[in-house]
Every structure is written in C-alpha cells, then in structure tokens.
C-alpha cells in the first residue's frame, strides 16, 4: 500500500497574503510540464467557495480529487508542525487514489514568522515572504526564515512602491541563513519561478 511515505512533499509556509497560493499556481504548470504528477493541499481555505475556486484554477492541469483543503481548527502552525496528522491523512487519500503521484505541494495557512514545517510532513520546506511587509523581515530571524530549505522573497515588483531595498533583504537573508538559498520572485510577472521549480526538482524529485 502506498502512503505519505512514498511521495515527495513540499511545504509552503509564510505570513498571510505573502503569495503562497500565487506561487503554487505558478509552480504547478512547471512541474506538470516537466512530467510530474502533482497534488495540492491548501490549509485553511475557510470557505467552500475558496476551495472551489482553487480547484477551478488547476482544472486544466490536475484532477479535482488532487486539490484539497485541510482545516486546522484555527491553529495553522499546529497543522504543519506539532500535529500534521490531518495533512498526512489527506496525502494518504491522494496516494490511495493516485499511486503514481510524484509530489504534493502543501500550502500552510497564513501564519507568523515562527511557523516551520514538521520534517515528517514536508521533505522540502519553503518560506514565502513578501517585500511589501517590510525589508526588515529576514533580520528578525524568525524560525521560518532561518530554517526553511528555501526562502522565497515574493512581490519584488512592489519593492519601489513600498521603499523596500532588495539588496538589504538579500544581504540580511545571507547573514541569517548562511549557505541556505534565497529566491526572489514576482508572481504577477511570472519572474523567478523557474529557480524555485528547479530547487524543488533538484532537492526532492531527482533524489
């Protein structure tokens, strides 16, 4: 029997509105085109309407039963860290119906800078922040920023409008993350996403 231990899992965490869903929507076509079978789990999508909209947005790429919501009882970090059992149960449902599945993208509910993914839930953990919430986020050294396998700095297009200095973000990220990589994306213009897809492929799919 296949289950959550047989499929690669990628967690996307980060503050509310930083662009996690946007990033998932840009990653799925790339992974799909590269020949991978992909599933998507979104935590805390709040309403059935949101769930339907999400499913609709992947309708030309993914079967509807591989796009699912998981409720986390108003505790988004618990769902990805202390008790990922309901996310794992959903992955098991995916793999039972689609044993050929290669990778599941798990979007956390929007949370604070301390939210990290349980390593038994996500093989690869990306933390998505946005430049619009301030260019000082990396140097606050939140565990999400420091421990993620990949830090994604999204909405680079907005930097000039909110007086955010991308060089400051880049330098601070290097300081607090050491050797670990940081990617810069603009989901509106579809820029920088290839690097993120490559990182996923290299880290969890080629292995």
Ligand X SMILES: Nc1nc2c(ncn2[C@@H]2O[C@H](COP(=O)(O)OP(=O)(O)OP(=O)(O)O)[C@@H](O)[C@H]2O)c(=O)[nH]1
Judged by the rule CB under 5 A, the positions of this chain that interact with Mg ion are 20-21
| Share of the chain residues as helix, strand and coil, in percent rounded to the nearest 5 | 45, 20, 40
Residues 101-120 touching ligand X, rule: CB under 6 A, are: 110
- Which of 21, 87 has the CB closer to ligand X? 21
Note whether 2 binds other proteins by CB under 8 A: no
Residue 97 C-alpha from the chain's centroid: 23
Rounded to whole angstroms, the Cα distance separating 84 from 102 reads: 20
For residue 204, the minimal CB distance to other proteins (Å) is 22
Q: Which does 186 bind (CB under 5 to 8 A by kind): ligand X, other proteins, Mg ion, none?
A: ligand X
Rounded to whole angstroms, the Cα distance separating 120 from 111 reads: 20
Rounded to whole angstroms, the Cα distance separating 67 from 59 reads: 9
Q: Which does 158 bind (CB under 5 to 8 A by kind): ligand X, Mg ion, other proteins, none?
A: ligand X
Q: Which of 37, 44, 111, 186 binds other proteins (CB under 8 A)?
A: 44
Note whether 89 binds other proteins by CB under 8 A: yes
Q: For residue 201, give the nearest of 55, 27, 46, 19 by alpha carbon.
A: 27
Sheet holding 67-70, edge to edge: 67-70, 38-43, 103-107, 8-13, 124-130, 150-154, 182-184
- Which of 50, 83 has the CB closer to Mg ion? 50
For residue 175, the minimal CB distance to Mg ion (Å) is 29
Q: For residue 40, give the nearest of 12, 15, 60, 72 by alpha carbon.
A: 12
Note whether 110 binds other proteins by CB under 8 A: no
- Which of 88, 105 has the CB closer to ligand X? 105
Q: Which of 50, 52, 83, 157 binds ligand X (CB under 6 A)?
A: 157
Please work out the total of residues on this chain that contact other proteins, with binding judged by CB under 8 A.
19
Burial 156-175 (b: 16+ CB within 10 A, else e): beebeeeebeeeebeebbee
Q: Which of 73, 99, 119, 160 binds other proteins (CB under 8 A)?
A: 73
Would you call 135 helix, strand, or coil by DSSP?
Answer: coil
Q: Which does 136 bind (CB under 5 to 8 A by kind): Mg ion, ligand X, other proteins, none?
A: none
Site of interaction with ligand X (CB under 6 A): 14, 16-22, 110, 154-155, 157-158, 186-188
Residues in contact with other proteins by CB under 8 A are 1, 44, 46-48, 70-75, 78-79, 82-86, 89
């Amino acid at each position: 029997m296949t289950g959550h231990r047989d499929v690669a899992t990628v967690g996307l965490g980060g503050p509310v509105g930083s662009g996690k869903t946007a990033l998932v929507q840009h990653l799925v076509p790339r992974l799909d085109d590269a020949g991978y079978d992909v599933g998507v789990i979104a935590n805390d999508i709040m309403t059935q309407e949101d769930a339907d909209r999400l499913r609709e947005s992947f309708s030309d790429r993914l079967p509807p039963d591989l796009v699912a919501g998981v409720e986390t009882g108003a505790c988004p970090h618990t769902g990805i860290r202390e008790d990922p059992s309901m996310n794992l149960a959903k992955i098991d449902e995916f793999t039972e119906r689609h044993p050929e599945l290669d990778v599941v993208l798990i979007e956390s509910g929007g949370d604070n800078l301390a939210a990290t993914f349980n390593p038994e839930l996500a093989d690869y953990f990306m933390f998505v922040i946005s430049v619009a919430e301030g260019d000082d986020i990396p140097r606050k050294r939140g565990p999400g920023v420091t421990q993620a396998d990949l830090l994604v700095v999204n909405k680079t297009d907005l930097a000039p409008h909110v007086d955010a200095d991308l060089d400051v973000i880049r330098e601070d990220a290097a300081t607090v993350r050491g050797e670990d990589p940081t990617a810069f994306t603009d989901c509106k213009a579809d820029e920088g996403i290839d690097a993120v897809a490559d990182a996923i492929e290299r880290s969890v799919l080629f292995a």
